[in-house]
Amino acid sequence: MKLKNLLVVTSVLAFVFGLVFLLVPYQATSLYGYTLDRESSFFPRYMGAAFLGFGLLNWYAKEVVGESVAIRAIIVGNLVHAVVGLAVGLGNAINMRGNGLVWMNVAIYAVLTVGFGYFQFVRKDVTAPRITTGPGTPIPH
């Protein structure tokens, strides 16, 4: 698996969930078996805004794979998001809150946890700094 592909998939997922929760929060949460009132409708919108930010971050990050510090931060940020999302989703599913669609989120976060965990702990070469021939001149690949 290439990091670029994982970032693209993560970006698309974030855009889809972000737009849905931002634009149609009542319908989005009802799919999970929850009902919102007027005051609580802002929480899924905040989540949608965050997902859109993650989506843009990952979309642009797919082009900076050779930058060590930047891509390491993006991998770690995505990994933390995936692990925490997996824990929240499992807690939600195990406590039988909502409906069976919650398991879809668990599956998505599990896959993202494995993917970003792989690039954080196993495949560290994707974040190696570029070798230069002189001050600031990268060697062409």
Report pTM: 0.84
DSSP 50-94: HHHHHHHHHHHHTT-TT-HHHHHHHHHHHHHHHHHHHHHHHHHHH
- What is the pLDDT, as a whole number, of residue 138? 59
Encoding tokens for residue 49?
């805004």
Which residue reads 């931060």 in tokens? Answer: 73
Alpha-carbon distance 113 to 81, whole Å? 8
* R_g (Cα) of the chain, nearest Å: 18
- pLDDT per residue rounded down to tens, the chain (141 residues): 899 999 999 999 999 999 999 999 999 999 999 999 988 999 999 999 999 999 999 999 998 856 678 899 999 999 999 999 999 999 999 998 789 899 999 999 999 999 999 999 998 766 444 445 556 655 554
Encoding tokens for residue 75?
């991998």
Q: Where are the chain's structural domains?
A: 3-127
- What is the pLDDT, as a whole number, of residue 136? 60
Alpha-carbon distance 3 to 71, whole Å? 10
CA angle 91, 87, 22 (to 5 degrees): 90
Residues β-bridged to residue 132: 138
Please count the residues of the chain. Answer: 141
For 81-103, what is each residue's pLDDT tens digit?
Answer: 999 999 999 999 999 878 989 99
